[in-house]
Amino acid sequence: MAKIPENPAEIFPEIVNDYKNIFGNGLVSIALYGSGAGSHYIPGKSDINFLVILSEDAMGNLDNAIGAVARWRKRHVAIPLFMTKAEVCSSLDSYPIEFLTMKKQYVLVYGEDILEGLSFEPSRVRLQCERELNGKILLLRRGLLKTGGQAKYIRELIKSSLTAFVSIFKALLYLKGIDIPHSRRDVIRSVAEVYAIDRDVFLKCADIKEGIERIPLSEIQPVFTAYLREVEKLATCVDSMSV
């Protein structure tokens, strides 16, 4: 049975060796990002996410990595994000939140530090925040109806959606020039204070996601209703803000 790492750093030498053997000098860098690079990594539950930067020529041989990717997935390593340096630069206008989030929490595993030098245009960040919030509102409404009103499914909807909101919250703090905290809960507290939303609602959602507090099923729907209301309030605020 494939061994799931207790700490992502355990697999750094092996994964670097695999991709160097596959791509040779075409391997520019590897960076670990997400929960595996911070304090929220849980072995067997958290995915281990890598950004792998390749040269243009090496990207043409991406199919050579199929076997390695399949082997690593058995050890709870997510399919890496394979990109070229040019693709990263051209993506910053359209997907600044994703790269801003990566830059905030990553570990350089091999090669050139691509993320360190990235900068983000505030107007682009605000636009994506607005777009993401409005899209998530529609998904939450649809998700609620799909649950059939069953609290156990509403609870799963809260758990599955919260991570995306935390990424948006980090971007919103960036827009205000506020240092982005490392912990999920501190991010929630900061954005609640700055944007005047109900901190306790989102902290209760964090309790649900992390399994810290077993909220009775009878209370789940009211929590979700308040959660959706606060997201709608935040979307209205972001829609009217100028940067």
pLDDT in tens, 55-106: 999 999 999 999 999 999 999 999 999 999 999 999 999 999 999 999 999 9
Question: Could you tell me if 76 and 48 are in contact, meaning their C-beta atoms sit under 8 angstroms apart?
Answer: yes
State percent of the chain over pLDDT 90: 85
Q: List CB contacts of 39: < 8 A, sequence separation 6 or more.
A: 182, 183
Q: List CB contacts of 158: < 8 A, sequence separation 6 or more.
A: 205, 208, 209, 220, 223, 224, 227
3-state SS class at 32: strand
pTM (2 d.p.): 0.85
3-state SS class at 77: strand
What is the domain partition of the chain in residue ranges? Answer: 8-111, 122-240
What dotted CATH number matches 8-111? 3.30.460.10
Residue type, 98: E
Question: Could you tell me if 92 and 118 are in contact, meaning their C-beta atoms sit under 8 angstroms apart?
Answer: yes
* Distance of alpha carbon 129 from alpha carbon 123, whole angstroms: 10
108 backbone dihedrals φ, ψ, rounded to 5°: -75, 120
pLDDT one-digit tens code per residue, 33-46: 988 998 778 888 88
pLDDT > 60? residue 135: yes
